[in-house]
Structure 1
Amino acid sequence: MTPEQVEAYASHVRILEITQKLSTDDVVPADRFRRSPSPPPEYDNAGRRINTRHSRYRDRLLGERHSLIQHATRIIPSYRLPVGYTYRSPAMLKEKVFIPVKDFPEVNFIGQILGPRGSSLKDMATKSGATILLRGKGSVKEGRGTRGGRGGRDRDNLENEPLHCLVIADTRDKIDKARILIQGTIEMAATTPEHANDRKRQQLRALAVANGTFRDDEGLRGVVDETYMSNVTCRVCGGHGHIARDFDRTAKY
């Protein structure tokens, strides 16, 4: 068998194996030592827990099977989907990471998290694969959402909660990555003196570049002005710095 045929066969066998587990509801590993630690409980609007061990393993198998089927349709000619196959994306997970503005009122956490034009927040979202939103008191600038209508109601809801980052993702792993990045930013902003905060320095540099006002003078640090004496001597007057043909004979010395 060629490597491509081996890959296609392995994908097909794994799809059948997962389909069998899902059909018999045998989704939780029997070996309790292989089980990962349970995350904090999460509940839907009806008060039902949505991240039980069973639901987490089932969603994981559904996601794996979906990826394998998408791959199989590309590498196996005339591939037939499993009977009754329908893909339902896993329920989105949400977590709030609160920002200690009361403990550190002098720290500009919002600026550190957002960065120039939101670039730092976008970078954390890209690295983690999660959606990160700034919510709570102080997250909306004055003048926005203060008028009537839905915007005003949304502002009221935001102001009723402490300042926090709302993290939304389809897997617990993405949530955890985003939380670690956010907490790292918060810790650096709260514990690092402003003059030693490399993150803030880089943000200010990026902002200057974006605004077109950046001037790179870092390379000039440590440069000392030096005066050089020319070794050229005039054979007419004996002076330095010019040659004989440039000697001004009409000048009075």
Structure 2
Amino acid sequence: MPGLVQPSLAENWLNSQGGSSGLIVKRTIRVDIPVDKYPNYNFVGRLLGPRGNSLKRVEANTECRVLIRGRGSIKDPAREEMMRGKPGYEHLNEPLHILIEAELPVEIVDARLMQAREILEDLLKPTDESQDFYKKQQLRELALLNGTLREEGSPMSGSLSPFQNSLGMKRAKTRG
């Protein structure tokens, strides 16, 4: 009957360990941004998205931390120039790149880093704006955040006037 005892021992061990060895490791990988190939493409804006939400979603889905580093990683070029050479800003002397960090159980850390890398590398492929579904989604999200979203088929006028019906025509005057 030892065969019946083994599964329960294994089950208890897995439950108590959460399926993990408990060993947490920190790993970082670097992904270069192809600014040399596409100097006029806004990679940082595409990665960040409206109010940084696109990058936050990548971080939430992969449990990795994503850092944009290197020349061009600070929005204000004058501030970037001022920070260059200061402690903690040595990365500004390097080409634009992404650091993906994960501090996770050893069993899943590499898979999560690769998941984040795949998502980010996909975003680093310049796309013609007319075909760029991702950018359309980002612009829609930005309009939603700003309160300026107009759904397809809605009147072009952004104002909601009580004197206009759904066709945008003035309401007939009524005698009262």
TM-score, normalising length: structure 1: 0.50
Q: Displacement, 1:184? A: 0.6
Give the number of aligned pairs. 145
Match of 2:10 in 1: 10
Tell me the distance in 1 between the aligned counterparts of 2:25 and 2:73.
26
Structure 1: 4+ residue segments shifted above 4 A: 5-8, 143-148
| Counterpart-to-counterpart distance in 2, 1:184 and 1:147 | 32
Partner residue of 2:65 out of 125, 131, 141: 131
Give deviations 1:173-204, integer Å, cap 9, x for gaps: 111001100011111xx1x2112211111111
User: Residue 159 in 1 paired to residue 92 in 2?
Assistant: yes
For 1:185, the equivalent position in structure 2 comes to 123
- Alignment RMSD (CA, Å): 3.1
Q: Are the counterparts in 2 of residues 130 and 174 from structure 1 also a CA contact under 8 Å?
A: yes
In structure 1, the partner of 2:135 is 200
Contact 2:46 2:123 (8 Å CA) reproduced: yes
Q: Which amino acid aligns with 1:134?
A: I
Determine the C-alpha separation between the residues in 2 that align with 1:199 and 1:69: 42
Alignment partners' CA distance in 2, 1:91 and 1:145: 32
1:69 aligns with 2:2: no
Displacement of 1:88: 6.3
User: Which structure has the greater CA radius of gyration?
Assistant: 1
Query: How much has 1:211 moved relative to structure 2?
Result: 1.3
Distance 1:185 1:213 in 2: 26
Q: Distance in 2 between matches of 1:105 and 1:147?
A: 23
SS of residue matched to 1:153: coil
Q: Cα offset for 1:89?
A: 3.7
Distance across 1 between alignment mates of 2:66 and 2:51 = 15
| Counterpart Cα distance in 2 of 1:121 and 1:172 | 19
Describe the shift of the 1:147–1:184 C-alpha distance in structure 2 as closer, same or farther (beyond 3 A): closer
Q: What is residue 101 of structure 1 aligned with on the other side? A: 35
Q: For residue 233 of structure 1, what is the aligned residue in structure 2?
A: none
User: Which has the higher relative contact order, 1 or 2, with Cα contacts under 8 A spaced 6 or more apart?
Assistant: 2
Q: 1:136-171 deviations in whole A, cap 9, x for unaligned?
A: 1111122557668xx94223x121111111001131
Query: How high is the TM-score relative to the length of structure 2?
Result: 0.70
Q: How far is the alpha carbon of 1:71 from its aligned partner?
A: 5.2
1:91 is paired with a residue whose SS is: strand
CA contact (8 A) 1:131 1:167 kept: yes
Q: Which runs of 5+ in 1 are unaligned?
A: 16-66, 73-86, 226-253
- Alignment partners' CA distance in 1, 2:53 and 2:100: 17
Match of 2:164 in 1: none
State the shift of 1:213 in Å. 1.7
Deviations 1:26-79 (A, max 9, x none): xxxxxxxxxxxxxxxxxxxxxxxxxxxxxxxxxxxxxxxxx642559xxxxxxx
Work out the CA distance in 1 between the residues paired with 2:10 and 2:41.
54
